[in-house]
Amino acid sequence: MTKEQKKLLEDHKNLILAEARKNATNLPLEAVQIEAYRIANAAVKDYDPKVSKFSTHLTNSLKKLSRFSTQYGQVVRLPENQQFILNKINKAEKELDAQLGREPTIDELSNFTKLSIQVINNVLQNRKQTVNLANMVDSPIFVPGNNDEYLHFCYHDMSPIDKLIFEHRTGFGNKPVLSNEALAKKLNIAPSTLSNRIKMISDKIEEGWKDD
């Protein structure tokens, strides 16, 4: 990405964040924020100044956010081989939970089962389930393409607790999306501590979205 493209993104940061907030009515803000950054990243790369102003081009691109929540609602039946992998993952989750005294992260599951994060995400994302957007706790994955390089960049260097927070605030790895109150209780940390960690995670997302 050129310096000019990075400057365009930085100059329109408030627009990107405003569109993310506007479209976070049914989904966690962090999930919509990630999608908004990705759309902006793509928009600056295909922008033609001869056609329109960048603000117009970006606003039109960010209209995709309004369709973001409608992508979720499929009921999928797992193939037999994926059911076998799912059983392996379920067993690993129980064993790691006993060892660690908490639920394992997707990364820890990957290391334990010797399955890639991509395979684990694919299996968990496609297991049979019905989406109820009114019940955020039981909703499935909210981050499309959650095997892509950008999400892995955000996720890779986090501590285990921050990985769990990221998973439960975005739905990464098909983890149930929890409210801050429920998540703080689940992780046995103070709500203020959780808020600070979410802010750090948000900063990391922002740090990477215009670095490629």
pLDDT reported for residue 189: 93
Note whether 99 and 116 are same-domain residues: yes
- What contacts 24+ positions apart, CB below 8 Å, involve 126-130? 126/76, 126/78, 126/82, 127/76, 127/78, 127/82, 127/86, 127/174, 128/75, 128/76, 128/77, 128/78, 129/75, 129/76, 130/73, 130/75
Q: Which domain holds residue 106?
A: 80-128
Q: With beta carbons less than 8 A apart as the criterion, state whether 178 and 168 touch.
A: yes
pLDDT in tens, 170-188: 777 778 878 888 899 999 9
Note whether 97 and 47 are same-domain residues: no
For residue 101, being part of any structural domain is answered with yes
Which residues of the chain fall below pLDDT 50? 70, 72-78, 128-147
Task: CATH number of the domain at 85, please.
Answer: 1.10.10
How many distinct structural domains can be found in the chain? 2
pLDDT reported for residue 169: 82
pLDDT reported for residue 187: 92
